[in-house]
Amino acid sequence: MAEANHSPLAQFEINRLVPIELGGVDVSFTNSALLMVASLAGITLFMMLGMRRRALVPGRWQCLAEVTYEFIANLLRDTVGSDGRRYFPFIFALFMFILFGNLLGMLPYSFTFTSHIVVTFVIAMMVFVGVTVVGFIKHGMHFFSFFVPPGLPIVLWPLMIPIEIVSYLSRPISLAIRLFANMTAGHTMLKVFAGFIPALGAAGILPLAFVTALTGLEILIAFLQAYVFTVLTCLYLSDALRLH
């Protein structure tokens, strides 16, 4: 290991694996892209091989695949209701992609693509624009009544409508920042405490124990953040479908 690689932030560096340039735009295949492809492949293998036998009494693997399906299906039914079922493929893909991205990032020497705000922001914008479009398709221009709290006196409209619009526009930002900040902070913290282990010699057993516990916490957070992202997407979708 080179000395430069010991920086806690070195793990977030983007490396070009296959340099490609199209019309002056750098579209190189990077380590981030590699991990995205790996997570797609991982999801596909997990679901396809899990359901390959289609046994009436599921084995362990099929059970896992069915549990993830049921988890998202129940989540969607609890938050959006039964008319949210048609959005299941998108929600499921979203959850699995973020979850696999987070979990693959926990492998040593790996890369966490969800720790880059570009990635999380694009996913959040996708959700935001998609949900807004669904709201407009469902309600037309009536969608703008979304920004007026019911029962509000007209005097307060000039104050409340800008607040509601800012609050609405803050959704993709908060979605993106939450995932990005949790991933970046967690991985940086792991690296910093791991750096104490060789520096402290025999007393390094203490940070080692801490890092071990922290790794467990990070795996919990990997699940939790994927879950939170999905729950919020469902809530926003439910809002767009029902307005008030």
Partner 1 sequence: MARAYQPMTKRNKPDSLRDLDDRLRRLREREGSGGAKPGRGRGSSAGFGMAMRIGVELVAALLVGVGIGWGLDKLLGTSPWLLLVFFVLGAAAGMMNIYRVMMGMSQAVGYSKDKDRSRGDDEPPSDTSR
| Dist CA 100 CA 93 (whole Å) | 10
Measured distance CA(222)–CA(220) in Å, rounded: 5
Is residue 66 a contact point for partner 1 (CB under 8 A)?
no
* Residue 122 near partner 1 by CB under 8 A: no
CB of 98 to partner 1, least distance (A): 13
- Our measurement of the distance from residue 3's CA atom to the centroid of its chain's CA atoms, rounded to an integer in Å, reads 32
Is residue 147 close enough to count as binding partner 1 by CB under 8 A?
Answer: yes
For partner 1, the closer of residues 171 and 187 by Cβ is 171
Strand 21-22 relative to strand 16-18, pairing = unpaired
Question: Is residue 197 part of the contact set for partner 1 (CB under 8 A)?
Answer: no
Closest CB to partner 1 among residues 15, 170: 170
Is 191 a residue that touches partner 1 (CB under 8 A)?
Answer: no
Cβ atoms 125, 118 nearer than 8 A: no
- Burial of residue 227 (CB within 10 Å: 0-12, 13-18, 19+) is middle
Name the minimum Å distance from CB 231 to partner 1. 7
Q: DSSP E strands: which ranges in the chain? A: 16-18, 21-22, 25-26, 29-30
CB burial of residue 144 (10 Å; 0-12, 13-18, 19+):
middle
Shortest gap between Cβ of 145 and partner 1 (angstroms)?
A: 9
Note whether 73 binds partner 1 by CB under 8 A: yes
Which residues sit at the interface with partner 1, rule CB under 8 A? 73-75, 77-83, 85, 146-151, 162-164, 166-167, 169-171, 173-174, 177-178, 181-182, 224-225, 227-228, 231-232, 235-236, 238-239, 242-244
